[in-house]
Amino acid sequence: MTRQTLGFYRESTFPDELDLPTLVESVLKLYSNKFKTKKIFVNRNFSDCPPLQGWAGELKQVVSNLVSNAIDAAGANGTVAVSVANANIPDGQALELKVEDDGPGIAPEHLERVFEPFFTTKKEVGTGLGLYVSKQIVERHGGTIEVYSNNSGNAVHRTTFRVVLPCSVSVPLRAAKTA
């Protein structure tokens, strides 16, 4: 899995025009066996969306991190919902990606720390870098990432990660590597 997700990253100087629903679907396909093994229902809701400017490998890494965490949280016989829709922002048009799970939720004392480097609640398997890296990538694309979680005494628990990415943004060119 690590090789697979690291393989998303491809050095490129210029952003590409991307279809976000197609990109998200390609990541979901990578996790299809994990969904089947854990008997997780995947609810997809993709709107017709304009193209997005960005680096496909980096955005696949973000989606992969969010989906992998949702699978872990949902557990056996759970549900993961993934949606892509149009959103409006003050500077123009944007796309909204949501990844939700029906797991136990994130404890309130952990909620504020989920984007910190090396913070993890998965001691045996987590590095605490997935959400930190995801936040850096989203911000580099001019977007935002937020988390909402309900783990109160209610019967319904849900954690939602919401990413908003502008459709057109002045994305800075990558610096050339120096040896």
Percentage of the chain exceeding pLDDT 70 = 81
Identity (one letter) of the amino acid at 95?
L
Q: Is the pLDDT of residue 47 over 60?
A: yes
The pTM assigned to this predicted structure is: 0.86
Helix, strand, or coil here: 137?
A: helix
* pLDDT value of residue 89: 84
Q: Has residue 87 been placed in a domain?
A: yes
Report CA-CA distances (Å) from 30 to 50, 64, 135.
24, 9, 22
* pLDDT value of residue 8: 54
Q: For the residues of 29-79, what is the DSSP string, one character each?
A: HHTHHHHHHHT-EEEEEE-----EEE-HHHHHHHHHHHHHHHHHHH-TT-E
- For 137-163, write each residue's pLDDT tens digit: 999 999 999 999 987 666 567 899 999
Considering its fold, how many domains does the chain have in total? 1
Mean pLDDT of 76-88: 94
Q: Has residue 18 been placed in a domain?
A: yes
Q: Kindly state the tokens that stand for 85.
A: 């829709």
Write the CATH number for 135.
3.30.565.10
Range of the domain at 108: 2-166
Q: How far apart are CA 91 and CA 102, in angstroms?
A: 33
- Using 50, 70 and 90 to split pLDDT, how confident is the model at 179? very low
Weakest mean pLDDT among 11-20, 45-54, 102-111: 11-20
Q: Has residue 177 been placed in a domain?
A: no
- Residue 94 · residue 88 · CB < 8 Å: yes
Percentage of the chain exceeding pLDDT 90 = 59
Mean pLDDT of 49-54: 92
Q: Has residue 40 been placed in a domain?
A: yes
Contacts of 178 (CB under 8 A, 6+ apart): none
* pLDDT value of residue 45: 97
Q: Has residue 33 been placed in a domain?
A: yes
